[in-house]
């Protein structure tokens, strides 16, 4: 994080708290959850979970380059929220159906962590929107 005046800002997507949370979740899902999914779900649930867990981070990273274009940035954040919600749905399937092969408490903790990530993304989106609105108000009109 770098200081500019009295405000601090992040120069790299990987330093965002929400990206760090999503990165940790991706590792847990890929290394600890997917290998325990029953074989008959390998090409269905496991593949979908792998893609969704990777996508939440990747979309946020891709969108970070467009963070100064409000509508584009907002779409990337919203898409990342969607991937988190998809992961929560997949984890709920595991929690409710595959109780024999998984530690259900661990799965519930993952669902909670994705809920926190969504809250972070929504708060981040809101604060970034305020930043853009204030910036427009402070920008002098060129006639």
- CATH number for the domain spanning 126: value is 1.20.1440.60
Domain carrying residue 95: 10-130
- Say if 142 falls within a structural domain: no
CB 39 within 8 A of CB 46: no
Cα–chain-centroid distance for residue 120? 8
* Mean pLDDT rounded to a whole number for the chain: 86
Domain count, the chain: 1
Q: The whole model's pTM is what?
A: 0.83
Distance CA 42, CA 35 (A): 9
- Say if 138 falls within a structural domain: no
Distance CA 19, CA 15 (A): 7
Please state the rounded mean pLDDT for residues 118-142: 69
- 133 vs 106, residue with greater confidence: 106
- Say if 139 falls within a structural domain: no
CA-atom Rg of the chain in angstroms: 18
Decide: helix, strand or coil at residue 142. coil
Q: Using alpha carbons, select from 47, 26, 25 the residue that is nearest to residue 37.
A: 47
Q: What is the pLDDT of residue 136?
A: 53
- Say if 63 falls within a structural domain: yes
Q: What is the pLDDT of residue 8?
A: 61
Quick one: pLDDT band at residue 67, thresholds 50, 70, 90? confident
- Say if 137 falls within a structural domain: no
Residue 120, H or E segment = helix 104-138
């Amino acid at each position: 994080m770098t200081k500019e005046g009295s405000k601090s800002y992040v120069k790299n997507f990987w330093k965002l708290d929400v990206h760090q949370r999503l990165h940790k979740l991706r590792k847990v899902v890929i290394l600890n959850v997917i290998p325990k999914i029953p074989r008959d779900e390998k090409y269905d649930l496991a593949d979908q979970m792998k893609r969704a867990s990777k996508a939440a981070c990747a979309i946020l990273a891709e969108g970070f380059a467009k963070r100064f274009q409000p509508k584009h940035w907002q779409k990337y954040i919203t898409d990342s929220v969607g991937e988190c919600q998809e992961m929560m749905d997949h984890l709920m399937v595991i929690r409710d159906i595959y109780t024999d092969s998984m530690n259900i408490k661990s799965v519930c903790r993952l669902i909670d962590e994705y809920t926190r990530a969504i809250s972070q993304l929504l708060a981040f989106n809101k604060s970034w929107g305020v930043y853009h609105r204030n910036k427009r108000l402070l920008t002098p009109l060129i006639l």
